[in-house]
Amino acid sequence: MKKSRGRTGRNRRRKHLKSFMDGVNCSHKLEYIKLKKWLKERGFEDSNLRPAEFWETGRGLMTTKALQAGDLIISLPEKCLLTTGTVLSSCLGGHIEKWKPPVSPLLALCTFLIAEKHAGQKSPWKPYLDVLPKAYTCPACLEPDIINLLPKPLQKKAQEQKMLIQELFQSSRAFFSSLQPLFAEDTGNIFNFSALQWAWCTVNTRTIYMKHPHRECFSLEPDVYALAPYLDLLNHSPNVQVKAGFNEQTRSYEIWTDSQCKKYQEVLICYGPHDNQRLLLEYGFVATDNPHSSVYVSADTLLKYFSPLDKQREAKVSILKDHDFLENLTFGWEGPSWRLLTALKVLSLAADEFACWRRILLGDVTSARNEQQALGTAAKICQFLIEETQHVLLQGQQSCDALWAQQTAKRTQD
């Protein structure tokens, strides 16, 4: 009898673990109940999707029935979408239409999100706002000491992202001030940098592509954003295929799967064929076993392997810069990219081969020596990047250990 109970207990634990690995249904939580009711009022028919927590991806959507290729995953009515049209129909619309120079569609959406979040219970979008992330893991939101642990090319992109939001904030302060008649509280407190950073990340990480006709009240930047409540809970996998777009007949944004999905498993969609640097920059996560994974090589790293005594070095660097061969140099699953090898071949040109640089940019072979030297240098760079990564991972582990020790000591003292 004891054996039987023990085996039953183990089976229960296995089932519990399997259930957790597959996904824990969260549709009973109040915020999702309110969101589904809010969506239903706007014409969204309950589908086979349920909010759930997953072991690998965190929050997502599971299916309550098996999906086959060609099945409709979700159809979200136009009334549920948050677009610049939504913004213009709100109390912000008149102020945006009068403001010169025109604001961008991105800023309009950010402004709306901040204003609605500030409105709290009074906001008709509260059920959606309540399920949005409170914070984001995009590089723009990371602390400097964390950014410094990232690979050099990604550090540069992260700093550019931070600067982009900072410049948007500075250039928008006058516009935010013009909205003061709409608020009892000082707009400087409402539309602060932290609020804009949150709104920018919300738009950048969660919008679907949906082209809208240009309106004169907006700047010339493409108006291609739409926030899609509930649909934006779908997580990314590089290994699935979907078809997505706005259906003019049904006036809904629809996603159709080209892949199978078992009952009670997470429904995944593909955000695009992005490498992990792009995924981290744009969405704040990386994908395991990503077939599009790339390791980026900075210009500084590249040039370390070529002698500064080379009299033609400056000319070679200038050629690469003029033809955009100092950016997006990568290693992929199959080795160095064509762009990286091309840059290495140009830098490896001997004095008597220098005049052949145009042929290299067109993909021709100059000499066996040039090819061999380029490949040899690529191998050295690859080894350097492996060692650098191991060093950074060790630093990260040491930082975590030190933080854990501090917290443990503090708990002991308390």
Q: What is the pLDDT along the chain (414 residues), one digit of tens a residue?
A: 333 344 455 555 554 444 445 789 999 999 999 999 999 999 998 779 999 999 889 999 999 999 999 999 999 999 999 999 999 999 999 999 999 999 999 999 999 999 999 999 999 999 999 999 999 999 989 888 888 888 888 899 999 999 999 999 999 999 999 999 999 999 999 999 999 999 999 999 999 999 999 999 999 999 999 999 999 999 999 999 999 999 999 999 999 999 899 999 999 999 999 999 999 999 999 998 899 999 999 999 999 999 999 999 999 999 999 999 999 999 999 999 999 999 999 999 999 999 999 999 999 999 999 999 999 999 999 999 999 888 877 877 777 777 677 767 766 766
Residue 272 is assigned to a structural domain of this protein: no
> In which domain, by residue range, is 106 found?
82-227
Residue 274 is assigned to a structural domain of this protein: no
**Residue 251 Ramachandran class (φ > 0 left, ψ -120 to 50 alpha, else beta):** left
* Structural contact between residues 225 and 109, judged by C-beta atoms closer than 8 angstroms: yes
180 and 309 housed in the same domain: no
- Cα 137 to chain centroid distance, Å, stands at 9
187 and 307 housed in the same domain: no
Angstrom distance (rounded) from CA 62 to CA 112: 30
203 and 112 housed in the same domain: yes
179 and 308 housed in the same domain: no
Q: Which of 168, 198, 227 is the last residue of a domain?
A: 227
Domain count, the chain: 2
Q: Which of 196, 227, 258 is the last residue of a domain?
A: 227
104 and 217 housed in the same domain: yes
Q: What is the CATH number of the domain that holds 114?
A: 3.90.1410.10
Q: What angle do CA 229, 230, 231 make, to 5 degrees?
A: 90
Bridge pairing between strands 207-209 and 295-297 = unpaired
Q: Which of 207, 227, 247 is the last residue of a domain?
A: 227
| Residue 357 identity (one-letter amino acid) | W
Residue 249 is assigned to a structural domain of this protein: no
Closest of 2, 52, 13, 9 to residue 263, by C-alpha: 52
* Residue 45: exposure state from Cβ atoms within 10 A (0-12, 13-18, ≥19): exposed
Angstrom distance (rounded) from CA 308 to CA 311: 8
Cα 317 to Cα 173, 278, 349, 357, distances in angstroms: 41, 26, 12, 12
Residue 254 is assigned to a structural domain of this protein: no
213 and 311 housed in the same domain: no
Residue 115 is assigned to a structural domain of this protein: yes
220 and 299 housed in the same domain: no
222 and 86 housed in the same domain: yes
Angstrom distance (rounded) from CA 348 to CA 331: 18
Tell me how far apart the terminal alpha carbons of the chain are, to the nearest angstrom: 46
pTM of the predicted structure, to 2 decimals:
0.83
